[in-house]
Structures are given as structure tokens and as C-alpha cells.
A and B are shown apart, each in its own frame.
Chain A
Amino acid sequence: MENIKLSAHNLDLHFGKKHVLKNINIDFPKNQVTALIGPSGCGKSTLLRSFNRMHDLSADAKLEGQLKLDDLDISEKKNSVTDIRRRIGMVFQKPNPLPKSIYDNLAYALNIHNFPKKDIPQLIENSLKESFLWDEVKDELKKPAVKLSGGQQQRLCIARTVVLRPEVILMDEPCSALDPISTSKIEELIIKLKKDYTIVIVTHNMQQAQRISDKVAFMYLGELIEFDACDNIFRHPQKELTKNYVGGHFG
């Protein structure tokens, strides 16, 4: 039996009158990479964002059902959203470095969670090394982060997430704005990171899903159609829809 880190049970999400997620049940195993695939608008990103309560700010979002991190109920309003987001980090589609220096982008994350000042330089160095960025930026940590290339910015955003030592990292198409070389660096990084973190990644790229993920969930029109080991989804899909999608017949 796998060790379940993150899960959703009977999850329904409405935006106003629109039913965006329909009765989703899914368990994400610990220290594995799970890819969410499906055509645009199928609810993958929405599901991903539910896990760190990014929908809190949308006035018309209505969420029912249960989201759990270990035994903690994520959707319970009284559980601190800042603690949850510290434990469940997120990397977005477009790199979004803060308008600060490379160093301060990471220091900011540590400061808001009151890490001891004396530990901060070491933590930052570790996390930049972990994200394969250290060698490229170690001599120019004071440089504005926006001056980095797109791929470097995205690795910085990953570094900014891992510097907090979260338990889960959510990634929303982290490579869609990057060139193939940057993409392969990030994929390499994701595979390395799964030793310490549970990773859920939304991707449109089938090859990428096959390269990096242990399990794959296929979603269509707000429903979870099939969820299985990566090989099974791509080689022996059980459902007709999945077969057509991974076979490239639509989407």
C-alpha cells in the first residue's frame, strides 16, 4: 500500500453557475511525481490550485468535499491558509520572480515565516544548489531576478518554493513558457526533487508526462477519467477517452 500524502474526496467546485470540478476522488502518493493531463479547460489547473487554497480569493468559487494533506483538512477555513501554503508550495506557468534581487526573492520567503536570520544565507545557498541554479548565479546574487533568463527565473521560482522545505510541490505547466534546454533542466530537477517532496504537475506535454511521472491522472470536462501508473495510462489505458487522448486523436 502506497503512502498517501495528498488527497481529494468527493470534491466539487463551482465558479458561479459553472460546475468546474465534478466529484473528484484522487490520492497522491508520497515522494512520487503525479502528472495531471487533459485538454485545456478540463479542470487540471483548477484542481491543482484547490490544494493550496488559491481559490480563496475568487468571490464566486464554491468548494465542496474534502481535501487532505496527511490528516489535515485543507479546505477547513479555520486551518491557517498561510501554514498550508508553506507546506504545499506552488510553481506557476509563467515564472513570477518578485521585483527584488535573486537573493531577496528567497530571503523574502524565509522572512515571512520568521526563519532565524543567521540561518538564512545557508538555506538560500542550499536551495539554489538543489535547484541547479547556484553555479550560474553565485557571483551575482544581488542582481534583479527579472534580469535572469526565463529558464533561470523558473528555477529561481522552484528554489523559492523549496527553500521553505514544503512537503508537496504543485507545478502548473512549469515548462510551457520555456525552451527545450531549459525544459530538460527543469525535468531533471523535478526527478531529483521527488526524493524529498511529493510533486503534482499539470502538463500539456505527453512526452514530458511520460519522462517524469510515476502516476498519471487524465481529466476531461471537470471529471477524473482515469488514474493509474504512467505506463498503464500510456500503453494500456482502460477507458476509450484516455486512449483517444494519449493517442493524439483529440485535445
Chain B
Amino acid sequence: MVCTFLGVILWDIFSKGLPALSWNFIHRYPTEGMTKGGILPAIVGTILLTFITTLFAVPFGVACAVYLNEYAKPSLLTNIIRASIRNLAGIPSIIYGLFGLALFVQTFHFGTSVLSAGLTLGLLSLPYIITTTEEALKRIPNSMREATLALGATQFETIKDVVLPKALPGILTGVILTLSRAAGETAPILFTGVAFYINGVTTSVNQEFMALPYHLYMLSTQHSAIEAVRPLAYATAVVLILLVFILNIVAFIIRYKYRTQD
């Protein structure tokens, strides 16, 4: 049932998008009010954006999960922290967008830029990364920790040398799936840095940027010549889906590789 829906959606998008998809579409700039040319700036923008999100959310999220699972003793405080994280995961993404606007764009004066947007997406990703990392850490049996502790390793050495390496596949899978979701988000970047059109590609973190999901949204609903750009919109969707798909395949390969290892 689910597969049928997925199949229909994919078939629809690919059949309409593939004809417009070409090498030119991927490596050229948009021209003539988006009706011709390619989407290079949007691809670069999305990749750069995801990169900043990763840089911010992964170290923070993993460190947070390690603290919660390995160090924190069960107490009211840690329960409150956990509950907050679960709740954060349920907040609509547009709220993150407004929050990012208030915090990064205005309070921190990062302006509407790929940095502000990346950090906003990072905030959105944090709860998922923390939760999936914590689950991965929970799956490591205590006997593993006892093995090194009993040898006289410190708790830090135990986490660094045994727990994290063993949990790595699980952590990476969670991280990549979260990031592939974040890469497709529109609402959080709407107010914080995305632009419909910029001249050239974004090369610096304080510039505005184009992003695939937003580009798609504009082409399909806001453009003055919607009919003319429809094939381009479908092609953009194909590119976005392929990017996310590649990330998911990477996650799958990592899992597979580690599973066959032990």
C-alpha cells in the first residue's frame, strides 16, 4: 500500500521531471526569470546549508546524548531535559524559522544568510540527533563498558574507545537520516536566509543563498509563468529527491558495512 503510493509519487515526478533534467540544468545558472537555464546556485546552496547544519548539530547533538546516556544520573533535571528534547522534536518547523529569525538574524546580527539558516536547521535537527544517538548508545550492553572499566580505564576512555566506536553505525544512520530530512525543509530557512534568486553561487557564510526546496516552492506556486516553469519545477524535485536518496543510500551502506563486520 505504502509502496504503491511512493511508486505513484515517484513515477509522477520522474516522468515529468526527467525530460527537463540535463547536465546543463545541473551546472548552469538560471536565466530569463527562471524560465531557462539551470539550478546550480540552489544545489550549491542546499549543500552548503546542510554542511553548516552538520557542523553545528552533530557535535552538539552527540555530546548531549553522551552526557544524557553515560554521565547524567537519573534525576528530575535529566527527566526534564529529556522531556524538553522530545517536545522540541514536535514543534512545527515554521516556529523554528521564526525563532531563527529572532535569534540568529536579529539578536546575533548574522543577517539573513546561509549561516543563520544553517544554524536554524541545526536547532531543528538537534532533538532527532540526540534521540537517535541516545538510542544507539543504549544498545551497547553494559558488559562492554564494564570490560574496560574493570581494566582501570576512566569513564571517558571507555566512552571514547569502546562505546562510541561501537555505537557509530547507529549514530551515523540517525545523523544522516536527520540531515536528509533537514535538507528538504523549507519553512525554517524562509525567514533566515533563503533567496529566490541570487547572482552567482553563494561562496561565503554571510551571504543569502538559493535552496532546492524553496526554489521548488517558488517555481510551483509563486512564479508569474507557472505553466512555463512546470517542467523545471519537476526537474528540481527530481534533483532534491536524488540528493536525499544518495544520503539515505550512504546511511544504508554504512549500516550494512558495520553489520557484516561484527
Contacts and interface: CB of A to CB of B under 8 A. Distances in A.
Interface of A: 52, 54, 57, 59, 82-86, 89-90, 92, 94, 96-99, 108-109, 112-113, 144, 146, 157, 160-161, 164
A160 B151 contact: yes
Interface in B60-79: 73-75
Given A59-B74, A98-B162, A144-B262, A161 B144 contact: no
Contact of A59 (B73, B155, B162): B73
Top 5 closest pairs, chain A to chain B, by CB? A59-B73, A86-B152, A85-B152, A90-B150, A96-B147
Given A59-B73, A98-B162, A99-B162, A54 B150 contact: yes
Interface in B209-223: none
Central interface residue in A59, A84, A96, A97, by most chain B CB within 10 Å: A96
Interface of B: 73-75, 141, 143-144, 146-155, 157, 161-162, 165-166, 261-262
14 contacts: A52-B150, A54-B149, A82-B152, A82-B154, A96-B143, A96-B147, A97-B147, A98-B148, A99-B162, A99-B165, A108-B161, A109-B151, A160-B151, A161-B151
Nearest to A85: B152
Contacts of A113: 152
Contacts of B150: 52, 54, 85, 89-90, 92, 161
Nearest to A87: B152
Contact of B146 (A82, A86, A92): A92
Contacts of A112: 148, 151-153, 157
Contacts of A160: 151
Contacts of B166: 99
B77 to A, nearest CB: 13
Contacts of B262: 99, 144, 146
Contacts of B151: 85-86, 89, 108-109, 112, 160-161, 164
Contacts of B147: 92, 96-98, 157
Central interface residue in A82, A84, A94, A161, by most chain B CB within 10 Å: A82
A154 B143 CA distance: 13
Central interface residue in A86, A99, A144, by most chain B CB within 10 Å: A99
Contact of B152 (A59, A83, A98): A83
A50 to B, nearest CB: 13
Contacts of B153: 82, 112
Contacts of A144: 261-262
Contact of A98 (B141, B144, B155, B261): B144
A108 B161 CA distance: 9
A164 B147 CA distance: 14
Central interface residue in A59, A112, A144, A161, by most chain B CB within 10 Å: A112
Nearest to A83: B152
A94 B147 CA distance: 10
Nearest to B151: A109
Nearest to B73: A59
Nearest to A84: B152
Contacts of A89: 150-151
B240 to A, nearest CB: 37
Contacts of A54: 146, 149-150
A157 B149 CA distance: 13
B226 to A, nearest CB: 56
A144 to B, nearest CB: 7
Contacts of A97: 147
A94 B152 contact: no
